[in-house]
Amino acid sequence: MDESKQISEFNESMFQIQRLHNHWLEFDKFIKRGDFSKARWELDSVESELYWDAKRLDDDGRKELDKEEGFMNQLINSNKILQGAFYKGYLNIIYTLLRSKERLLREIQQESGKGARYKDADEDGLL
């Protein structure tokens, strides 16, 4: 069976989604407090959870945001730029970079099928 067409349907996928949810809550708490170092650690944890999904998406060629650059390269570049900003202590830039990395990780989560799940509103009888 083609592994790229498979999805995880057992316990681990549910546990991973719960872990991601918890990391997002912690990230939000730290970023609002201005504790950028702890917020960065939470994003690193999210990146660890989504690493194989990002790699799989790149390998499958489903990543079309940047045709020259897949999710993995974007994560590597994001981490390098963030590290430099932390080293120099540019707080306003650090905040912007953390939010940018958050959006990238949320996109990976969504593209991998571990984000929001949508259906037509009329399926619930709302229309």
For the chain, the C-alpha Rg in angstroms (whole number) is: 16
Overall average pLDDT of the 87-115 stretch: 94
Pick from 21-25, 61-65, 77-81: least confident: 61-65
Give the pLDDT score at 119: 67
Q: Does residue 83 belong to any structural domain of this protein?
A: yes
* Residue 40 belongs to a domain: yes
Residues of the domain holding 98:
34-115
Residues 23 and 121: their CA atoms lie apart, in Å, by 29
In a domain, 46, yes or no: yes
Task: Assess if residue 123 is contained within a domain.
Answer: no
- Quote the pTM value: 0.80
Does the pLDDT at position 49 exceed 60?
yes
